[in-house]
Structure 1
Amino acid sequence: MTAALAAFERHLAVERDLSAHTVRAYLGDVSSLLGHAARLGRDDPGDVDLRTLRSWLANQQVTGRSRTTLARRATAARVFTAWLARTGRASADHGASLGSPKQLRTLPPVLRADEADQLVRNAADAADDGSPLGLRDAAMLELLYATGIRVGELVALDLDDVDRERNLVRVFGKGRKERSVPFGHPAARALDRWVTEGRAALMTDGAGGALFLGARGRRIDQRAVRTLVHRRIAEVPGAPDIGPHGLRHTAATHLLEGGADLRAVQELLGHASLATTQLYTHVTTDRLRRAYQQAHPRA
């Protein structure tokens, strides 16, 4: 069991290039599964059959695990059993038939267009004094809202990832999948000011090619960005308390409300499945209702 778990960890980290956080989550889930199997007298990973998998999930449900947690653990189990079969450690992929409870997939609150505009305007006003941190914050907020990129993708950006001739930013998303995301003129202006006026004032020897720097002159971390977003949104009257991921949802919602194609939004956000992007369509019903009332003769 221990040897199989160590080999599976290498598979996740090296072959699939998953993030350290995802690797830890999968290993925790599979360790729980193997522990359950051992208590049932199954000491070899190849002996983990469908009955074992189902009893493990049932036990998780009895102990009060949420539907989201159960769905994630079922996914981890399926990845593990597929790997066992592919590497000859099991005679068959027993997890291929394993079902899991559907997640109650909901979206967090999003900003209205006027609230998002107020957010970036406030940041721009705060940057008028030319302070390096103010210029950086304005550029980060503009870019987050303009592109809908993840906070992890934002902090990983290097200077060379920004194409100012075409106003594109190169992003490495989940699984190190590369995509190019466009941004508009307001974000371009904020980025230019930060790079030409603010970045040099914070830069230290440890900055490297990082686009955005923290107060100590090194690549900024995700926690600092989350703190900034919450603080700035608190300054917008009536706005819901959302973080960087809420800005990502806001960008997607406003794109769809503006008439953007669903598949185009999928590409911009880096979603592997269109079903994930379709979650955003439920927040655009007002736009569809207005279009119906304007166009249908019996509205």
Structure 2
Amino acid sequence: MQDHLQDFLHFLLVEKGLADNTIISYERDLKSYLLYLQKVENIDNLNVVTRGNILQFLNFLHEKGKSSKTIARHIASIRSFHQFLLREKVTEQDPTVHIESPQPDKPLPKVLSVEEVQALLEVPKGKTPFEVRDKAMLELLYATGMRVSELISLKTSDAHLTMGFIRCIGKGNKERIIPIGNIASKAVQHYIEASRPSLLKKVETDALFLNNHGKGLSRQGFWKILKRLAKEAGIQKDLTPHTLRHSFATHLLENGADLRAVQEMLGHADISTTQIYTHVTKTRLKDVYSMFHPRA
């Protein structure tokens, strides 16, 4: 069964082009599933797995206190795995048919107010090469809504500043072109001309944003920088690496941007993923109404 799992993971990587983190998630879910089949159900042949076996596994997860979101993710992993086995003629039937996924409650993304974003962007004063870099990264994230993983993957050749856009490689190795405003463009240009050469040292790399060793900045490195800057800005909210991305989308929609345009800039394959930001804007409108209407 482990051999079939490795074949499936290879399929996800090579043919589907999924991101490494996504494949790791599939692997983790399916390893726990296969271990359950072997240890609890005494099954070592995937062709004899039944719908009942899978339901028992899902019940096992529920009894362990796993959330509906986690269980839904396991179901998606198991369903994809069994569909792959059927296509490859490893099995003769798909036992996941008619197994429904629980609908997890989607928490609304946490966003910063325009004032909080402004305070955060003003923390790096640009007095050192690192402050110039931090200013450029924050301005670019808020201007484009890029994922942090996309930001740290940028190469110098991806910044087409005179033309006003950034070339970005997102999930599934999909390319998208994102427009950037004048402020972010100037911040990145200033970083490239005034600070990046001094950070580069003797290391040869085309990574746009560099750490203090002259190498490409890591996700963890950026996260530490963001937490420090948020603290200096006096922001009390629990920030995540996605906070500026969420804020970018919410502020665009609040100011009348088209949902389809926001979807394209964020790189969402399905517009339903983007629609969660419309719920955020409605919630914020209710809060404003409650605070300021005299008869609320």
* 1:238 Cα deviation from its structure 2 partner: 4.8
Corresponding pairs, count? 287
Aligned residue number for residue 219 of structure 2 = 222
Aligned residue number for residue 9 of structure 2 = 9
Q: What do residues 70-107 of structure 1 show as CA deviations (whole Å, max 9, x unaligned)? A: 11111111111111111111223332432121122113
C-alpha separation in 2, matches of 1:286 and 1:13: 39
Q: What do residues 110-146 of structure 1 show as CA deviations (whole Å, max 9, x unaligned)? A: 11111112211222xx21x2x2111100000001111
Aligned residue number for residue 296 of structure 1 = none
TM-score, length basis structure 1:
0.90
1:155 counterpart = 2:156: no
Structure 1 unaligned segments of length 5 or more: list them: 293-299
* 1:274 Cα deviation from its structure 2 partner: 1.2
1:254 counterpart = 2:255: no
| C-alpha distance 271-30 of structure 1, shift in aligned 2 (>3 A) | same
Of residues 188, 200, 209, the one that matches 2:206 is: 209
RMSD, aligned α-carbons = 1.9
Q: Which amino acid aligns with 1:67?
A: S
% identical aligned pairs: 38
TM-score, length basis structure 2:
0.91
C-alpha separation in 2, matches of 1:13 and 1:161: 24
* 1:289 Cα deviation from its structure 2 partner: 6.9
Identify the range of structure 1 (272-281 vs 91-100) with the bigger mean alpha-carbon deviation.
91-100
C-alpha separation in 2, matches of 1:16 and 1:76: 14
CA contact (8 A) 1:136 1:194 kept: yes
C-alpha separation in 1, matches of 2:179 and 2:187: 15
CA contact (8 A) 2:142 2:247 kept: yes
C-alpha separation in 2, matches of 1:162 and 1:181: 10
CA contact (8 A) 1:253 1:280 kept: yes
* 1:214 Cα deviation from its structure 2 partner: 0.6
CA contact (8 A) 2:109 2:280 kept: no
C-alpha separation in 2, matches of 1:166 and 1:92: 54
Aligned residue number for residue 267 of structure 1 = 264
CA contact (8 A) 1:46 1:91 kept: yes
1:75 counterpart = 2:76: yes
Aligned residue number for residue 36 of structure 1 = 36
Q: What do residues 155-183 of structure 1 show as CA deviations (whole Å, max 9, x unaligned)? A: 00001111113211111111111111111
* 1:219 Cα deviation from its structure 2 partner: 0.4
C-alpha separation in 1, matches of 2:25 and 2:235: 36
Aligned residue number for residue 27 of structure 1 = 27
**Structure holding more helix per residue:** 1
C-alpha separation in 2, matches of 1:141 and 1:265: 19
Of residues 258, 269, 283, the one that matches 2:280 is: 283
* 1:43 Cα deviation from its structure 2 partner: 1.5
Aligned residue number for residue 50 of structure 2 = 49
C-alpha separation in 2, matches of 1:109 and 1:249: 7
1:178 counterpart = 2:175: yes
CA contact (8 A) 1:110 1:246 kept: yes
* 1:47 Cα deviation from its structure 2 partner: 2.3
Aligned residue number for residue 295 of structure 1 = none
Q: What do residues 174-195 of structure 1 show as CA deviations (whole Å, max 9, x unaligned)? A: 1111111111111001001100
